[in-house]
Amino acid sequence: MRRVKRGVIFGLNNLSEKGFVVTQGTFDGVHKGHRSVLKQVVERAKAQNAPSMLITFHPHPRTIVQPKQWNPQILNSIEEKSNRVLQQGIDVVLVLEFTKEIAVLSPEEFVRKVLLEAIGVKEIVVGYDHRFGHKREGNFELLKSLGSSHGFGVSEIAAKEIDDIAISSTRIRKSLTEGNLGLSNDLLGYSYPVSGTVINGEKRGREIGFPTANIQVEEPLKLIPPIGVYFGMAAFDEIEIPCMVNIGKKPTVGDFPLSVEAHLLDYKGDLYDKRLELRLMKYHRAEKKFESLQYLIKQLHEDQKDATLFFNPITGVAN
């Protein structure tokens, strides 16, 4: 297969290769259904001796075309999504900024300017209900007609598969909102991530023996699971460390905005300014206001014991 440099490319101007087998869409969550589609794209690319590509948009198109009608709840930041897609064997994730200028491109203009002139598409893999272009006027039949006229292939994803993908995305959002992390992770096929940069906090955790990494979540529209304490893995610098994650307002020590912070088990390094991906594996308990700081500390020790047992149930020692 023809080789290209694998990775994420932001904008058509930064694309130096042509001749891709592509699919396009939001692929929010990159769940099991999405991954079956990506597998098809990779297989079609190998058959064509061509590299594979996902075309996706940022910000979410609905934030531009339906800013008042849509209540956004996004499962993945663009970084989370891109990394997950590349893990499925896709060669290039092309991220296009969704602007009002792109929104008004007719289907024919989108095919000509983006798929043909910029990407040199060899084949596109889409669902039977695929819509594109201004006011979503382009459909599968038009795409097949344009493909026939301009010499690129159009492959269809089965109707049932597309319907299952939509159902899965809805169920994931619903289950996360309801606090059913187990079902969400099962549908995703991986632990739900919350990612961001470690910033300075109040440092109260350090004072009581439980230092925390305070996360500035990188995607403002990210669906944050309900308030509570979670167990998970903190991923950074290509390593993973077990952690306890608190999503909440720290009611015992004051009245604070909602925050996400993680206490990493058996880790003493400096995390400031690092990007952490907190992969939530288990909901442990609700956040509560304790009578005093001493009661909170006692509970944190119990949480730590439970977390250690969760990560290593045989020895009870954190990995």
| Residues designated as active site | 261
Nearest to 245 by CA among 204, 276, 269, 203: 276
Lookup result for tokens 């952490």: 276
User: In Å, what is the CA distance from 150 to each residue of 55, 115, 129, 145, 232?
Assistant: 19, 11, 22, 9, 49
**Among 141, 128, 262, 251, CA closest to 195:** 262
**Which SS3 state, helix, strand or coil, does residue 25 take?**
coil
- How far apart are the C-alpha atoms of 106 and 315, rounded to whole Å? 62
Taking the C-alpha atoms of residue 33 and residue 35, their distance in angstroms, rounded to an integer, is 5
Q: Which of 22, 44, 49 is nearest to 121 (CA)?
A: 22
Task: In whole angstroms, give the CA distance from residue 40 to residue 236.
Answer: 30
> Would you say 300 and 251 are in contact if contact means Cβ atoms under 8 Å apart?
no
